[in-house]
Amino acid sequence: MDVAKWWFLHLLVMVFVAILVLPVSRSSPESEAESRTRKPGGNVIEVEGEPKSVVWVVQLSDLHFSVHHPERAYDLRRYVGPALAMINPSLVLITGDLTDGKSKDLLTMKQDEVEWIEYQNVLDNVIQRSGLNKEIFYDLRGNHDCFGVPKAGGAYDYYQKYSINARLRRDGNVQSITLQNGGWKHLFVGFDGTMETGLRGPTNLFGHPTNQLLANIDLELSQWDAESTITKIAFGHFPLSFSALTDDGQGLKDVFLKHSLSAYLCGHLHTKFGKNLKRHHQSNHPTKYYQFNIHQGFPTNMDEQSCSSTNSSKEFWEWEMGDWRWSRAMRILAIDSGHVSYVDLDFRLGSKETIILPTFPLDSRFMQRISSVHDFKCQPKRGSSYELIRTLIFSRTEIVLVSVKVYDTRPETPTVVLDSSMRKIEGNGSRGDLYVAPWNWRAFEDPSPSRYRLQIEAIDIFGKTSYSDSRPFSINGLTAQVSWTWREFFVMGCQWASIYWPAFWSALLFLTSLLLVPQVLLLCWKKNYSYEYVRPNFAGRSLREHLVDGAFLALMELPRMTVVWFGILMYLLYLLFFPWFFGHVFTERGIVAYMTYQGWFVPNFNKNTMLQYLGVPDVMVVVLPHLCFVVLPTILVIGAMAAERTTYRKYHLLLSGKKEDDSLEHNYGQTKNASSCDSNCIWRRRWIRKFLFLVTAVILWKHWKNCRALVRAYDMNPFLNSPIYCFMIPVLLMYAVYKTWSP
């Protein structure tokens, strides 16, 4: 018997070692199509007319045109065309998710040509109503736009047929536009970072830049490096927290830091996660897995700035803008003598009659932490740009009076320290209205970046007054602190592509430990010590003692349920070594692929000698929730049911005056009369067991929802394509309920 126990112990150790050393496959290498050389240079637009020092662009994102929600297209047609006519931007950037690609129940995700035809018609109508040149519109692809698209340019790649970029024959996955105005160059570089082989959702969530894409972006961002007055802006769909790394471990952040962008404009996350979906990146404070605060690193010390040497630290802002889908959001971004500012508009309450965008001084919450201080201290040539408060005003009606107020918030009640009228810059062929007001800007130097606040007031010819948001400013370039909510941190602060593998192996190791460690202890212990923790009487013990004893007993009782214990262990090994389920990953139901924790294996697309997988780390949206919210609760609740049965059996034996073994008699021989009324009620009616039944029902409901979503998403039959994944957990739970039914 001892030999058998030690043989079994060696077997468990071998399983543990196999789990720890199992290699992780890498994603597929780049296609040959990306190996083509690329020459830098894109479209150059000369921005004519006043004001000479300012250009502005409009960003839209996540339109999600859907056959099930026609109001999205209706509102875009109704509001955006007239708004663009009033704003008169130099560029209009649409950063992905042009269509929705989802069924009415949101579970099936593939392309629908009807949505693309609607997108084309609505955008053509918007362009016509705006009176703008179609050439200034740029639309990028998002993950929804490549749901189930097996090949770029194929039959289901409707983006290549109906998008503005495709109809204007803009080839390639990188587009660059340079706006020239008043001696300044403003470079905008947009790119398509979606999957090369587009899978259906939900395992199509991340951006997948390749080495060649990063090289092309780097090349485009380098084209004006010889210029001293250049502002660089990148735009794409995916935030960096949802962008994977290349096989070489490189990412978009490395390229953006190299060029010290002013900002990276993106979408994807939607406003439902929060309104502060913004993030500052800095080269001397690298973050691999997470960033706790919006601002990375520490504020720049002005005394450490040296004008005689070039600052080696690089930085850029990442600004996610929200969505049109639910929030009806639109952004206006302005560049004024190199200073970048923006205002976000909300069309849920209707059209906008007057829009105010202050361009200087900048909002101290979202200004550069390094270059702003350096510019203030070390670049006298920008002194002229500091001498005027400036704001852009777009209005359908004539504006008769504009004024600026500066508030000092240091007292308990903010006081107005500057109240001045503003004059409009006149000029021939004016593109928009810029208002300015002189001020003694050096009087507002202060070590606090949020002491002074700026607000613009505009009155139109009908007497209607409009206000800008009150915003803090710091003339000497210090940044005000802004904190994320937990939801904002979850989607912006976590680098999910880097987190997936550590999170997966940690979860698997923890689950395996819950099974193997108690079993090893039981094999090694000759005497059964777990009954020392069976105490039906609740009197005289704290809640903490109850929880500790109960948890220990649950873990020790689980291996006693041999069939269930082996079933869970085999299920974990199955999830590790075998396909989780089979399904259709493309719009056309033809090719059947299978998914593992390493990604999707698609037979006709994985032609390399080494086994390669698609959709990594996108599969984490299936893998991690299943391990953490289904498998882990299953282990815990089954152990708890076993512990409850053991404790109830002891309570039953005590009431009947019987004994089960000497250890029970020694420990509990005197507890029958000491049982309190509360413990009698709990154990007699088995309230704990009833609560565990409720938890079991919740686990089964959660698992059923997950399986139903996958069945609908990938057109699979659960009995044929995923029997182990779908039915093993319910079988184990039902069997555990049956085995613990009676003492």
Q: Report CA-CA distances (Å) from 408 to 361, 443, 450, 462.
A: 15, 12, 9, 31
pLDDT of residue 7: 42
Q: Are strands 592-596 and 599-601 parallel, antiparallel or unpaired?
A: antiparallel
**b/e map of 323-360 (b: 16 or more CB within 10 Å)?**
bbbebbbbbbbbbbbbbbbbbbbebeeeebebbbbbbb
pLDDT band at 119 (very low <50, low <70, confident <90, very high): very high
pLDDT digits (tens, 9 = 90+) for 545-584: 666 767 777 788 888 889 999 999 999 999 999 999 999 9
Q: For tokens 């093993």, what's the residue?
A: 728
Check whether 69 has a pLDDT greater than 80: yes
Q: Taking residues 396-406, report their average pLDDT.
A: 95
pLDDT of residue 13: 44
pLDDT of residue 26: 40
pLDDT digits (tens, 9 = 90+) for 594-609: 999 999 999 876 555 4
**CA 273/CA 585 separation, integer angstroms:** 28
Contact 564, 638 (CB under 8 A): yes
Look at 372 and 240; give whichever has higher pLDDT: 240
pLDDT band at 536 (very low <50, low <70, confident <90, very high): low
Check whether 640 has a pLDDT greater than 50: yes
Cis status of the peptide bond prior to 438, with omega within 30 of 0: no
pLDDT of residue 651: 61
pLDDT band at 313 (very low <50, low <70, confident <90, very high): low
**CA 182/CA 53 separation, integer angstroms:** 6
pLDDT of residue 20: 41
DSSP 135: G
3-state secondary structure of 427: coil
Q: For tokens 């319910």, what's the residue?
A: 730
pLDDT of residue 260: 87
**CA 51/CA 335 separation, integer angstroms:** 11
Contact 304, 314 (CB under 8 A): no
Beta bridge pairs of residue 69 = 66
Q: Taking residues 610-622, report their average pLDDT.
A: 87
pLDDT band at 383 (very low <50, low <70, confident <90, very high): low
Q: Report CA-CA distances (Å) from 77 to 82, 84, 420.
A: 9, 11, 39
pLDDT band at 587 (very low <50, low <70, confident <90, very high): confident
Check whether 527 has a pLDDT greater than 60: no
Contact 203, 595 (CB under 8 A): yes
Angle between helices 632-656 and 723-739 (to 10 degrees): 10
Check whether 743 has a pLDDT greater than 90: no
pLDDT digits (tens, 9 = 90+) for 183-198: 889 999 999 999 989 9
Residue 299 is encoded by which pair of tokens?
């504020």
Q: What is the dihedral of CA 556, 558, 559, 560, to 10 degrees?
A: 90
Category of 153 on φ-ψ map: left (φ > 0), alpha (ψ -120 to 50) or beta: left
Q: Average pLDDT over the chain, rounded to whole?
A: 85
Q: What angle do CA 567, 568, 569 make, to 5 degrees?
A: 90
Q: Where are the domains of the chain?
A: 2-25+499-739
Check whether 620 has a pLDDT greater than 70: yes
Residue 178 is encoded by which pair of tokens?
């340079």
Q: What angle do CA 552, 558, 564 make, to 5 degrees?
A: 165
pLDDT digits (tens, 9 = 90+) for 402-412: 999 999 998 78
Contact 310, 260 (CB under 8 A): no
Contact 76, 324 (CB under 8 A): yes
Please give the sequence-ordered ranges of beta strands (E in DSSP) within 101-224, or none if there are none: 137-140, 174-181, 184-191
pLDDT of residue 647: 78
Which percentage of the chain shows pLDDT scores above 90?
62
